[in-house]
Amino acid sequence: MKKQTQAIHTPFHRRDAYDALSMPVYNAVAFEFDNAAVMADAFCQRIDAPDYSRVENPTVTHFEETVKALSGAQNVIALNAGMAAISNTLLALAGAGKNIVTSRHLFGNTYSLLTDSLARFGVETRLADLTHLDEVRSLVDDNTCAVFFEIITNPQLEVVDPRQLAAIAHARGAALVADTTIIPFTQFSAHDLGVDIEVVSSTKYLSGGATSLGGLVIDYGTVEGFGTRMKNEMLFNFGAYMTPQVAYMQKLGLETLAARYGVQSQSALELARRLRDLPAVRRVNYVGLPDNPYHALASELYGASFGAMLTIDLESREACFRALDRLQLIHRATNLFDNRTLAIHPASTIFGLFSEAQRAEMHVADTTIRLSVGLECVDDLFEDLRQAISD
Ligand SMILES: *Cc1c(COP(=O)(O)O)cnc(C)c1O
């Protein structure tokens, strides 16, 4: 079965009592057992049956099993936000005295999780330019529990080769963890690229038009003890499991992902091409443009599509604000991969509470607008941007 078929036809874990076609929302906290022995078996994981929805729920299981079938992973855990997927994964891998090697080019909350929250518990974060492999190699040591990176960074759109990071991480027994939110995990095999654990904000492409927050941990089973710790420790003790209502919406989103992503990534490329012709646009950054420095590498790694996020640079921060204020169709909002197109000035918003020096280190420029391209007609989107940007 091809993935778009599998996304719709992955069978339920157990036949539904009423043979519902789509997995119903099992809006229940607890599940009953026939007798005490079966109950003991379920609690001690000798049999697979849900007991309490903080750690297992049939609707969530069906969503997880569909993702598992599509990714070929050994375990998939659905959590209540992308940040929960990232924090639970890193909490499961790290401990006091351990370190994580990563980039300065990170989603803002991930950066703060690493450099503020985990730092308070004695986990050291070592920031490297991941495009300089010698620098990465010099920072990874026997206490490194993970090398963490984003496949296409936001908003810099930098691409590094996971295969090279994997070689460095694995030589020292560290896990390679990839945040793959920017390109749907169905478009490529992270495992084939050497990634041990994939984390995804399913709030974005998967949710199906920004219906709900969610996160996925896609575990290829290559890190000793990780899957067991996620299930037996993280879900129980941190309580960030996805709710059945959200799993229902995100499963529906997954069913239409291939169709939506095809349109959105094509429109992003078309917009990137057209925006280059506007005199007020200093630069268009999109990995799909053939002259982008990461185009060849990204094509090799992630295939023929490059996501639905791009950035444009205007003359100044004031020019960016003016353009944003003039938009009539495109929404001034954060989030990515909604059905509607969104625009934001990252330096003053997502990264607004970082110091100017930190923003400079992260290469978040004052002149950049980020666009997340939706499902509208590309002509309408271009026309809105053209009128907003021109004098
Ligand atoms: C949005 C996002 C996250 C955080 O996901 P939430 O679902 O908002 O918690 C993490 N990484 C990347 C790359 C994102 O775009």
- Among candidate residues 220, 255, 290, the one where a domain is terminated: 255
Q: Do both 85 and 194 map to the same domain?
A: yes
Q: Do both 365 and 269 map to the same domain?
A: yes
Q: Do both 102 and 240 map to the same domain?
A: yes
The ligand 1 atom at the shortest distance from the C-alpha of residue 84 is 9
Output the ligand 1 site: residues, CB below 6 A.
Answer: 81-83, 107, 110, 150, 154, 179, 181-182, 201, 203-204, 213, 215, 336
Q: What is the pLDDT of residue 49?
A: 92
Q: Do both 123 and 154 map to the same domain?
A: yes
Q: Do both 180 and 207 map to the same domain?
A: yes
Average pLDDT, the chain: 97
How far, in Å, from the CA of 183 to the mean position of ligand 1? 12
* One-letter amino acid of 276: R
How far, in Å, from the CA of 42 to the mean position of ligand 1? 33
Cis amide linkage into residue 346, ω under 30° from 0: no
- Among candidate residues 204, 232, 255, the one where a domain is terminated: 255
Closest CA to 258 of 365, 335, 183: 183
How far, in Å, from the CA of 107 to the mean position of ligand 1? 7
Count of C-beta atoms within a 10 Å radius of residue 30: 9
Helices and strands in the chain: count of H runs, count of E runs: 14, 12
Q: Is the pLDDT of residue 247 over 90?
A: yes
Q: Do both 296 and 160 map to the same domain?
A: no
- Among candidate residues 229, 255, 281, the one where a domain is terminated: 255
Q: Do both 86 and 145 map to the same domain?
A: yes
**Mean pLDDT, to the nearest integer, of 277-281?**
97
The ligand 1 atom at the shortest distance from the C-alpha of residue 181 is 13
The ligand 1 atom at the shortest distance from the C-alpha of residue 86 is 10
Q: What is the pLDDT of residue 272?
A: 98
Q: Do both 215 and 329 map to the same domain?
A: no
pLDDT digits (tens, 9 = 90+) for 107-132: 999 999 999 999 999 999 999 999 99
Q: Do both 313 and 231 map to the same domain?
A: no
Q: Quote the domain boundaries for residue 313.
A: 261-389
Q: Do both 241 and 279 map to the same domain?
A: no
Q: How far is 103 from 126, CA to CA, in rounded Å?
A: 8
- What are 128's strand-pairing partners? 103
How far, in Å, from the CA of 179 to the mean position of ligand 1? 9
Give residue 245's pLDDT band: very low, low, confident or very high (50, 70, 90): very high
How far, in Å, from the CA of 83 to the mean position of ligand 1? 6
Q: Do both 239 and 278 map to the same domain?
A: no
Q: Do both 132 and 206 map to the same domain?
A: yes
> Tell me, what CATH number does 91's domain have?
3.40.640.10
The total domain count for the chain is 2
Q: Is the pLDDT of residue 391 over 80?
A: no
Q: What is the pLDDT of residue 328?
A: 98
> Tell me, what CATH number does 306's domain have?
3.90.1150.10
pLDDT digits (tens, 9 = 90+) for 141-160: 999 999 999 999 999 999 99
